[in-house]
Amino acid sequence: MSDYLDTAAGRRIAYDRTEGTGPGVVFLGGFVSDKEGTKAVALEAWARQRGRASLRFDYSGHGSSSGAFTDGCIGDWFEDARAALMELTQGPQVLVGSSMGGWISLLLARECPEKVAGLVTVAAAPDFTEDLTWAEFSEDQRRALMDEGRVVLPSDYAAEGYVITRRLIEDGRSRLVLRTPLDLPMPVRFLQGTADRDVPMAVALRLMDHVSGPDIRLTLVKGADHRFSTPDCLRLIERSVEKVIQRVERADA
């Protein structure tokens, strides 16, 4: 049974939290994903086995949280994540951001670095609304988005497709992280599959080239797709989180 956080913005965020030692692990899901996904649940089980605090939650318009998905945007979901991080965790956390959650985790690391002990991203999709969506739209799609406020894109993950709104695109432009310097002073691990059709490997390479920091590594997994949820991929996520925690704890010793 989920608990709920009522945010200052008036949104009700569903979450599952386990108590344990810090730094805790916070999972940030992807676009139209939720806290019951394979990676989120597996990471919570891993943390529980080790007595490590963990948190997984649904952005507004996702899963069991309030609101309609089509009303939301990157800024809303970032605010949801920030509220969850600030109000539901104690001390700095290791963020694990999947796809869009990778973008949101980078926003959190930029805006409240004191709460981010370390960072692991899985097929991170920074700036995807601009670089992977708007940039790929045809002129007809761009016109429809501006005139009608939305377009529907086919998806491997949703039979009805993804609704892309004008608000999502326009708000995303105020949340970009690859246009200005991005320093990540915490341990960082980027994970990326070479067979990802949703977020190309070039995005991971661009992100790696763009950021600065003392302890940043990129791991490419041959043949892994965007889901990154095979047993081997899940173990790689867990090992990456463990390595980041070890780095944090050594630095604090």
Q: Return the active site residues.
A: 99, 196, 226
Cα-to-chain-centroid distance, residue 173: 17
What's the rounded Cα separation, in Å, for the pair 220 and 153? Answer: 28
Q: Note whether 123 and 226 are within 8 A (CB).
A: yes
CB atoms within 10 A of CB 111: 11
Q: Give residues with Cβ within 8 angstroms of 171, minimum separation 6.
A: 73, 74, 75, 76, 129
Asked whether 26 and 93 are in contact (CB, 8 A), the reply is yes
Q: Tell me the residue type at 180.
A: T
Q: Residue 23, preceding bond cis, omega within 30 degrees?
A: yes
On whether the CB atoms of residues 131 and 124 are closer than 8 A, the answer is no
Asked if 37 and 70 count as a contact pair (C-beta separation under 8 A), the reply is no
Q: Which helix (H) or strand (E) holds 80?
A: helix 74-88
Which residue type does 85 have?
A: L
